[in-house]
Amino acid sequence: MFSTSLTANDLLFMLQGAWVTLKLTAAAMLIGTLAGVVFGLLRAAMPYATLPLSWALDVFRSVPLLIQFVLFNSLKSLVGLDWSAFTVGCVVLGVYAAAFCTEIVRGGVLAVPTSLRRASRSLGMSYWQDLRYIVLPVATRVAFPGWLNLVLSVMKDTALVMWIGIIELLRASQTIVTRIQEPLLVLCIAGLIYYLMSLVVARLGARLERRWQEDD
Amino acid sequence: MIEIDQVHKSFGDLEVIKGVDLTVAKGEVVSIIGGSGSGKSTLLMCINGLEPIQRGSIRVDGIEVHAKGTDLNRLRRKIGIVFQQWNAFPHLTVLENVMLAPRKVLGLGRAEAQEIALKQLAHVGLSDKLEVFPSKLSGGQQQRMAIARALAMSPDYMLFDEATSALDPQLVGEVLDTIRLLAEEGMTMLLVTHEIRFARDVSDRVAFFRNGLVHEIGPPAQVINAPQRPETAEFLKSVR
Ligand SMILES: Nc1ncnc2c1ncn2[C@@H]1O[C@H](COP(=O)(O)OP(=O)(O)O)[C@@H](O)[C@H]1O
Ligand SMILES: [Mg+2]
């Protein structure tokens, strides 16, 4: 007979952790996408002038996220910033996501053929109108799959914030494992929750892509 | 009137246009023929200010295209241009492709822009494709849409850069017919083309381009039927 000491309260605890995971992901992707769009457009428009920006972002893309969390957390105490661990988590994840998103956006913008932009400018559209009505919509369709991958990978990377003391899904699960000593069951449930959250994101994305494909 | 006066244009160290003089009078159809790489496309892009020039001047209705204070966005409204690549906006339907510039550039309302777009799409024979996305169109249809899109701005001039070169042979005719129609309606046009017979039929004058210069220019009866210079004759023989 299957028996477990996992209680409904434990499950609730895990779901609360999952909620934190979702909030972190959303906040990081908001920061990352806004900054990534601005940086990506700048990178595409001025490749040489923005080289230093690209070097800086390379650092954030290359250094393991865990090190970034710990370093930023120490830095925070050093300069006396009064930020909560959650804020630190959002900012570090957001910058990390921005570094990747910049490349995704840049790639999308560069995929818009020059001849298409010439055609829109020839019709009398200004630089900004061309950007708004032609470049961004076309680039979005190109960049979207990469962006969706980024969301899924950031969602999993949020697990690392446990190292700066935030209780998200994985940390919540570990706490329960320590108490009831049923790692297999608890981690399976945690995995399932991650899977379901990713599935929803992937499905929403696929639906959007299908709608665009009907245009093409 | 388009007045091109001693224009020089380089890309870096490569001088592509080496002192071109050419005028296109109101109502005139001028064709440019010439080998690939002779600077034909570049010249068209200099005319609407998409490419800067190094020396000389280009005036359109007396407006100096490359002067500092020139409002190029405004000037381009009166110069329609159709490229070799069809350049349909892929995320917009045929109707939206044609309506976009009238709405955003001319600031027209939806109804008014739509009326103009419908008229121009009928003009090029695409009235049955309004809600279709460009990827569902043939090359010839996409190119005719590009023509309608340019015409929707009510330009005073139309420039065509090898509008049929990227098309399958059986689709060339429909696009040439559209251009011919414009010529009959009195549109002022500058056509870069490899369709020699077509150039002879529709043009008032034909210019043969060679090495960044107008090598020979005159009525089609001269330049195409009885070229005065050996290089012109040689080129014509090579494309026949
Ligand atoms: N953006 C550019 N940068 C550098 N060289 C160019 C550019 N565009 C055209 N060229 C060069 O200028 C020359 C003329 O090109 P083009 O005007 O396209 O000729 P055509 O239209 O007569 O075939 C070619 O040698 C081409 O390689
Ligand atoms: Mg060309």
Q: How far is the CA of B155 from the centre of ligand 2 (A)?
A: 22
Q: What pLDDT score was predicted for residue B170? A: 85
Read off the pTM.
0.88
CA dihedral B14, B15, B17, B18 (to 10 degrees): -160
CA distance B177 to chain A (A): 22
Q: What pLDDT score was predicted for residue A5? A: 85
> With bands split at pLDDT 50, 70 and 90, how would you rate the model's confidence at B194?
very high
- Provide DSSP, chain A: -------HHHHHHHHHHHHHHHHHHHHHHHHHHHHHHHHHHHHHH-TTTTHHHHHHHHHHHHS-HHHHHHHHHHHHHHHT----HHHHHHHHHHHHHHHHHHHHHHHHHHTS-HHHHHHHHHTT--HHHHIIIIIHHHHHHHHHHHHHHHHHHHHHHGGGGGGGT---HHHHHHHHHHHH--HHHHHHHHHHHHHHHHHHHHHHHHHHHHHHHHH-
Q: What value does the mean pLDDT take over residues A153-174?
A: 90
Mutate to test the pocket of ligand 1, among B10, B11, B15 (most ligand atoms within 8 A of CB): B11
| B216: CATH | 3.40.50.300
Q: What is the mean pLDDT of chain A?
A: 92
CA distance A117 to chain B (A): 9
**Distance (Å, rounded) from C-alpha A201 to C-alpha A148?**
8
Q: Is the pLDDT of residue A74 over 70?
A: yes
Closest-CA residue to A124 (of B149, B145, B123, B120):
B149
Whether residue B24 contacts residue B6, with contact meaning beta carbons closer than 8 Å, is answered with: no
Nearest to A216 among B74, B80, B133 (CB): B133
Number of domains in chain B: 1
Q: What pLDDT score was predicted for residue A58? A: 95
| B150·A122 Cβ contact <8 A | yes
From chain A residues 193-212, the ones with a CB under 8 A of any chain B CB are: 212
| A124·B91 Cβ contact <8 A | no
ipTM: 0.91
Closest-CA residue to B162 (of B116, B196, B114, B127):
B196
Q: What value does the mean pLDDT take over residues B144-166?
A: 94
Q: B2-16: per-residue pLDDT in tens?
A: 999 999 999 999 999
Q: Is the pLDDT of residue A178 over 60?
A: yes
The domain A18-166 is placed in CATH, from the list 2.30.30.240, 3.40.1190.20, 1.10.3720.10, 1.10.1050.10, at 1.10.3720.10
CA distance A119 to chain B (A): 6
**Distance (Å, rounded) from C-alpha A134 to C-alpha B87?**
11
Q: Which domain holds residue B11?
A: 2-239
Q: A79-127: per-residue pLDDT in tens?
A: 888 888 899 999 999 999 999 999 999 999 999 999 999 999 999 999 9
Q: What pLDDT score was predicted for residue A215? A: 67
Q: How far is the CA of B178 from the centre of ligand 1 (A)?
A: 27
Q: What value does the mean pLDDT take over residues A45-73?
A: 93
> With bands split at pLDDT 50, 70 and 90, how would you rate the model's confidence at B226?
very high
Domain limits, chain A:
18-166
Closest-lying ligand 1 atom to the alpha carbon of residue B35: 22
Q: Is the pLDDT of residue A209 over 60?
A: yes
Q: What pLDDT score was predicted for residue B159? A: 96
Residue nearest to atom 13 of ligand 1 (CA): B37
Q: What is the DSSP letter of B176?
A: H
Q: What pLDDT score was predicted for residue A163? A: 85
Q: What is the mean pLDDT of chain B?
A: 94
Residue with tokens 């241009």: B81
> With bands split at pLDDT 50, 70 and 90, how would you rate the model's confidence at A77?
confident
Q: B68 to each of A213, B18, B63, B111, how far by Cα in Å? A: 43, 22, 11, 36
Whether residue B158 contacts residue B83, with contact meaning beta carbons closer than 8 Å, is answered with: no
Q: What pLDDT score was predicted for residue B225? A: 93
